[in-house]
Amino acid sequence: MVDNTPPSGEGAQLIEVRTAAVPHVVPTLRTIVADIAMRQDFDLDAVEDLRMAVDEACSMLLPSASDGQLNCVFSWKDGRIEVTVSVLSDSPEPDDETGLSWQLLTALATSARRSVVPADGGYLSRVELIRESEAARP
């Protein structure tokens, strides 16, 4: 199994969800990130941005899930939330950083990154998002 844990600092809280790669589970993942953001005192606009960012990340990866599984890791500490969404796929998909979905994703997150690496006879496609609260920014 590939380690999907985001690079969080010591003392960070973590939730990992492994589920079927089907669209009807995305609202649950959106709810989880919204709950985390609210508990971290993110403003309402940031909470909604995170919900939409998780939705976009899942929408980008769901079609390529070759084993029917989706992994989502939420990590948070001190006004910073990291989300990593990943799937195993049969082929490496090129990073499309010009598409509307990617442009929306990067607008909703403080930072976003997409990667594809060889894993388990296929490829691990991953989208990593970071969102910081306005209060946490210097």
Q: Looking at residue 36, what is its pLDDT?
A: 96
Select 21-136's CATH number: 3.30.565.10, 2.30.40.10, 3.40.50.300, 3.20.20.105.
3.30.565.10
Query: How far is C-alpha 102 from the chain's CA centre?
Result: 13
Q: Nearest CA to 75 among 14, 128, 31?
A: 14
Q: Looking at residue 1, what is its pLDDT?
A: 43
For 42-77, b where at least 16 C-beta lie within 10 A, e where not — what string?
A: beeebbebbbbbbbbbbebbbebbeeeebbbbbbbb
User: Which band of pLDDT confidence, cut at 50, 70 and 90, is reported for residue 28?
Assistant: very high
Q: Looking at residue 117, what is its pLDDT?
A: 92
Domain boundaries, the chain: 21-136
* Residue with more model confidence, 32 or 9: 32
Q: What are the tens digits of pLDDT across the range 5-17?
A: 545 567 788 999 9
Tokens of 116: 């594809």
Strand 122-132 relative to strand 80-89, pairing: antiparallel
Q: What are the tens digits of pLDDT across the range 65-122?
A: 999 999 999 999 999 999 999 999 998 875 566 678 889 999 999 999 999 999 888 9
pTM: 0.87
Mean pLDDT of 13-36: 96
Q: Nearest CA to 74 among 88, 92, 60, 58?
A: 58
Q: Looking at residue 101, what is its pLDDT?
A: 84
